[in-house]
Amino acid sequence: MNDNGRVDLIVTDLGGTLVKTDEAIMAAVELGIPEGYADPVYDVFGTSIWEYIHAYLPEGHKHRTNDCHKRFWTLFPYDVLDQITPFAGVEEALHDLKRRGVRLAVLSGLRLEAIETILSTLSFRDWDAVRSSMLYSAAAGDSRAIGIGALVKEFGVAPDRTIYIGDTDHDVRQAQKAGVLSAAVQTGGQAVKYLHKIEAQNPHYLLDSFAGLRQVV
């Protein structure tokens, strides 16, 4: 961070970072899978929805993974919105950061409509930008890094005055590829089980939660 400690832009992931979505994701998976199937395979959670569904389906039914995966995205987040809640201190932190003149943007891998639907569960509304990384074509899964770079350019801020915060090792790598400061929270489903992967990426900040940004910005 610059000597004066000033941060001009915070770009944040959504699920696992601002809001708790684990139960909603599991519920949407289960809604899309016929009754009588195997119990949920929670060990897979935190990898990908497709893999979670594939592991959930019993032998003889795994060929239905693609269909069930497609069904999931018609249910999530709309049919399970009541199970999506902000993590403690998130809304207060957002209001405080905004009052201090920090620009705030959301960048998530969900469709824009889904992002806006989830954000409706927050009392905070004063976003400077809400973006889906699906808007950016990139090889090797680097659409998040391109999206971060686009926001830095859009707001005319310096990369070393920009923080990207997420909850996975992938988020940290994307921040590093974009040339901005990286922060990771330990609130997401993956962080609970794979914290060592996040630590191995050496993020600038490893926080208990999003609210911790107020102490480092």
pLDDT per residue as tens digits for the range 176-190: 999 999 999 999 877
Higher pLDDT, 210 or 2: 210
pLDDT per residue as tens digits for the range 32-41: 776 655 555 5
Are 130 and 173 members of one domain? yes
Predicted local distance difference test score (pLDDT) of residue 124: 97
Are 92 and 159 members of one domain? yes
Please give the full DSSP string across 126-143, using - where no structure is assigned: --SEEEEGGGS--GGG-H
Domain containing residue 60: 22-82
Average pLDDT for 48-69:
83
- Residue 88, in any domain of the structure: yes
pTM metric for this prediction = 0.89
- Residue 1, in any domain of the structure: no
Average pLDDT for 57-66:
85
Are 75 and 132 members of one domain? no
Domain with residue 106: its CATH number is 3.40.50.1000
Predicted local distance difference test score (pLDDT) of residue 139: 66
Average pLDDT for 20-43:
72
- Residue 53, in any domain of the structure: yes
Predicted local distance difference test score (pLDDT) of residue 3: 44
The count of structural domains within the chain is 2
Predicted local distance difference test score (pLDDT) of residue 100: 94
- Residue 137, in any domain of the structure: yes
H-helix segments, the chain: 22-31, 49-56, 65-75, 90-99, 112-119, 143-155, 169-178, 189-200, 213-216
Are 94 and 154 members of one domain? yes
pLDDT bucket at 62, cuts 50 / 70 / 90: confident
Are 135 and 159 members of one domain? yes
